[in-house]
Chain A
């Protein structure tokens, strides 16, 4: 199994969610996050005082996938999240030892 984590622009969440559902993903977790990449932050002005805001709002998506599906899922996710502008985010995956469905106690791929 793989844990796929994506940090994306907040306004792309709906597209990504729909694309993943169409792909067959049964569940995912979404967290509001802050961060920056090459895009860095932006500048805000309050009564003439300029503040550089380093951390911009992002959405972090976590989804578990079987090894065989992982690459294709990442592709679907990246395509849905892309706007082509700086600040689109990152996606990465890591191997997962085990997963348990809390309700039934099923383990491994059965738990997905």
Chain B
């Protein structure tokens, strides 16, 4: 009986010509929503070895790599895998550092406070740009004011609106850098797209995942070194590190696993 029903169902599905793309998109949307409900935008600091060994208990290659990673890093902070994880991880890790690093704060403040005019000059719509800039600077100023504590930053980054505004502004800074130095960055993008088109499609929209080119441009624009640790199925027992821009001292350490970034903390 049960089988019959299932068969009938199957038949009908074949008959009804539904648009597969739409179904896939709909399903993807549902999955994204489930993820977003389950994982906070920014997670709590977890013990690295403990967290990763639990995750990869049945996976010898990853367990080996987790051990290697734990020799250099003590903790991990997970990000919501919503396509914004690189930008959010970058902002959180760097702002956290700025809470205690006054000298670096000053030079960062100078760079970002100038960024708005640079972006307007490049032709970004002033009206909305100011909206993002104001919210971004509000947070930056609170960090510099010395009144903000770790847990306040954590709370702030888990308020969806504000957290996303910071991501948007970093995306705009990235887009600005890519367009300003388009001659250089065009070498890294596929196809016959113009840099402006690339930015409209891959950088400025929310929830679009980041690639190397985003990381290079953002770290160069803000003069913040980023070290990314790549954890994948490769043979090497070590977790390979890559610094952006090359040769700089990293201020932010991120763990990359295919399609996703989390924050790492050194011993």
* A and B found bound together: no
**B residues within 8 Å of A by Cβ?**
none
**A residues within 8 Å of B by Cβ?**
none
